[in-house]
Amino acid sequence: MSISKLHSILQFISFGSIMSDMTLLAQSPDYLMEKFNRYIGDESIFEFPKTEQEYGDAKILLLYSENWGNINESLKSIIIFLNRANWDSRTLPSEKVKIFEEYIGDCSLINDSRNGYGNGLHILLNRYLGIYCKEEIIKRDLLKLNRDFNINSALKIIT
C-alpha cells in the first residue's frame, strides 16, 4: 500500500475519532458519505454483499437507523469501520488497514489523488496524526506496510 493511501485511511479514521458513539449517531448519512468521498473515494471501493453477521456490531447500526431511517450498505460499512477503527494510539496502522479491508474493501482502490496528507483535517487532528506517525513503533509499522506494498507491486509487474 502506498503511503498516500495509508494516510487517506488514517485521515478518515482521525476524522471519525473525534466522535464517540453518540456523536457518530448524530452525523447525517450525507455528511459521513461526504467525508468518505473526500478521504477515500467513491462507493465503487465497497465489496458487497455482506451479511448482518459480517457487520458484527449491529447495535450501533440499529441506533443509527433509529435516528436516520434505513441506511444503505455503504453507510453500514462506514459506520462499523469508524466504530471499530476508532482512533487509539496503541493500534498499529497495519491493524487499521485490516479493519478497513474487512469492512470497506481493497485498499488499492483508494483514490489517493484526492488530498494531500493532512488536507482538510482540523488543525488539532492534523497535529495529533503527525505525532502518531512519528512514534517509533508506528514509524516501523508504516515502513513495513510501504515495503510490503512495493514488493507486491514489483511482483505484479514480474508476473
The one-digit pLDDT tens for each residue of the chain (159 residues) are 677 787 788 878 776 665 555 577 888 999 889 888 888 887 777 776 555 555 556 788 888 899 899 888 888 888 888 888 776 667 788 888 888 888 888 888 887 665 544 456 667 777 777 777 788 888 888 888 878 777 777 677 776
**Is residue 154 classed exposed, middle or buried when 0-12, 13-18 and 19+ CB atoms within 10 A define those classes?**
exposed
- What does pTM read for this prediction? 0.74
Q: What is the pLDDT of residue 117?
A: 46
Residue 29: the pLDDT is 92
Burial 12-44 (b: 16+ CB within 10 A, else e): bbbbbbebeeeebbebebeebbebbebbbbebe
The domain locations on the chain are 3-158
